[in-house]
Amino acid sequence: MKTLGVRTVSLTEAMGEVSERLRREKSLGDRPVCYLPGNCGRINAVEEWIYNHASEISGTYAFQTLSMGPAEGWERAVAGGVIPVTPFIGGGLRDLVNRGLAKNIRCNLSQVPRLSRGDAWRADVAFAHCSLPDKKGRVTLGLNAGLDYTPVKEARFRVAVVNENVPHWHIGIYTDAETGKSVEVGCAMHLSEFDLVVQIKEELMAHTMVPKESQRAKATMVAEHILDYLLEETEDQCLPHTLQLGIGTIPNAVAELIASKGLSVSGIWSEMFSDGVLQLYKNNQIKGLDGTYLRNKAVVGFVVGSLELYKTMANNPHFAVVPQEYVNNPAEIARNPYMCSINSTLSISLTGEVAAATIGKKLHSDVGGQFDFAYGASLSEGGVSFIALSSTAQLRNGAVESKIVAHHEAGAHHTIGADLPVVVVTERGCADLRYLDDTDRVRAMIRVADPGFRRHLIKEIQKMPALQGIEVMNPRLVTLRNGTRAILRPATPEDITKVDAYIRCLSTDDIGTRYMMTTTVEALTSAARLKERYGDSLDYIDHAAFILEAKEEILGIAHAFAMRNDQGWSEEKEGWYEVAFSRRSDLEGQGIGSYLMDYLLEWGYKEPEVQHFHATTYRQKNPKMRYRFETSDFVSSVNSEDISEVCYDKDMTNPAPSTNNTDRKVA
């Protein structure tokens, strides 16, 4: 191999010279930075040297995007004084980052190359994993080219590690028809731009995404929903979309499904891709690749896949490998009509906050290009951004948890905020969050959540003030007879303190009438009772509670309890609910009872579980309460076991003509 006058040395000699330079920088009071290719472009021989000789470069920052080297090796490097730095956490550094022994710089992938232009992270030494040079002496920067290009170009000292197994990308200059600009592709550098050349023969890292059988089935279901959504934009076999396929089994499953159905796509514009794109390419399902403009190519920054993928791309003019700051630029992404980004996440909230980087409070990954492409696709004419995930995850202990959560834990990294709404897809279907307020977003997300977790998710999200009525009843502003504005809404666990104050405002007579002389204020306001009534049991299926409040004070409360054996009823009656309501003692005659009764009835007509309302009160007390039941078409009868009591019953399967509750759900 001709090195055009650039000094060629062995790896050992190169590492000795690099070590000396890094020690010199440290002696000047600086913290030296050494840049290493990451992802599948990692140089195993260089990393092994660092693991085994870390003490020789102690105090050096080793900067690498997504470390795929062994965690044990990096732990040895840290023990020797090397400090790993990464803007995208990989398996090699995950534990070290969470233990505070490695640095994580949160950064959109489009901005990562910029880090190397500033003084903070400009490399004192940069390694490049290079192809053999062409006849003009140009090498291309391998599997991680798009990410490595700028850091290597900006480095103070550059080492070309030339590996005969690294594919040489097609080098050329294409015009971007959308902007008229000329764009260099191939991420090429001339050997003369390097300070040292090292020749090695090292196997490339292949990383094929082969899911477990259980994961494959769900991934295919998710992919089918995505494809059904995309097919709405076309009447033939050619999708008008340009695809970005992120890392993971679901993006690959989408490509496989498109291939299996004989469809085609308009183009590929992606920060990275894997073997799903290879399958589309081999089947001639990426249209327009023979065009002369940049967007007529499969445009990518780096690749993570099989050796066959790397071989297929080598010197292939159908593929354009470009710097990451270009392919990930949201403005450039947006210039692709019908841009479609498909990315995965670890979890997502009911209001659309994507957390792809953390599991609980632990850092697991990073945003990568997820935000870049979601934003770019949202600006594209006809564009759409999918966040795809299985609705549940199985933990190592065998437990199953929902990946759709009401709220993320404190410390969660929101890789896409709720302010950039996306289309969420699970094996249950699609939830298009665009153009929706939080209430409708939650309803859409509940539909794609696992049915076993829906009740819990609803209960948790109801703790939010603006979402108290979600999947129950919408809040309502009403006017009392004295002109006071009040809000009628479902109760939540957050109301416990106000309920305590409300009960203490009731007169002895009102408490006796409402609770049939069976309790005291102290018992009614005990912490255990309030937690059970307004926290544990408040699910709007077995127990519903509604409040009327004004200026943060409760004026009245209505309840409905399922009459089940486990609720203390000797005879369980399916679909029967005991109902009751009360209002503050000093507000008689303000229409509070009417509002609460109407609201309670409306809920009962809409709730599929409710078949019958039942109530018991005294015959000789609180005539206004009895009047409210009677005018609401409850049928009265004397309690055969206690003639001082009167029972009221109402069939809830057929709304009265006078109500507007004709939208009763079907059980």
Alpha carbon separation from 258 to 230, 248, 341, 385 (Å, rounded): 11, 16, 15, 17
Buried b / exposed e along 607-633 (16+ C-beta atoms within 10 A): bebbbbbbbebbeeebeebbebbeebe
The span from the CA of 509 to the CA of 223, in Å, is 63
DSSP notation for 256-306: HHHHHTT-BBSEEEEEEE-HHHHHHHHTT-BTTTTSSBGGGSEEEEEE-S-
Half-sphere exposure of 418 toward its Cβ, with a 13 Å CA cutoff?
A: 16
What is the CA angle 414-417-420, rounded to 5? 150
Is 48 an active-site residue? no
Q: Are 473 and 603 a contacting pair, CB within 8 Å? A: yes
Alpha carbon separation from 52 to 72, 146, 278 (Å, rounded): 11, 29, 37
Determine whether 80 is exposed, middle or buried from the number of CB atoms within 10 Å of its CB (0-12, 13-18, 19+): middle
The span from the CA of 122 to the CA of 14, in Å, is 20
DSSP 625: H
Cα-only R_g, the chain: 33
Please, which residues have CB within 8 angstroms of residue 515's CB and are 6 or more apart in sequence?
524
Buried b / exposed e along 465-495 (16+ C-beta atoms within 10 A): eebbbbbbbeebebebeeeeebebbbbbbeb
Tokens of 138: 């140009």
Spot the catalytic one: 256, 271, 325, 427: 271
**Closest listed residue to residue 538, CA positions, set 523, 560, 554:** 560
Positive/negative CA dihedral, 230, 234, 235, 239:
negative
The owner of tokens 């980087």 is 357
Strand, coil or helix: 473: coil
Please, which residues have CB within 8 angstroms of residue 312's CB and are 6 or more apart in sequence?
278, 281, 282
The span from the CA of 223 to the CA of 554, in Å, is 49
CB atoms within 10 A of CB 12: 11
3-state secondary structure 158-220: EEEEEECCCCCCCCEEEECCCCCCEEEECCEEEHHHCCEEEEECCCCCCCCCCCCHHHHHHHH
The span from the CA of 188 to the CA of 190, in Å, is 7
Alpha carbon separation from 43 to 162, 365, 645 (Å, rounded): 10, 21, 85
Q: Which residues are catalytic?
A: 271
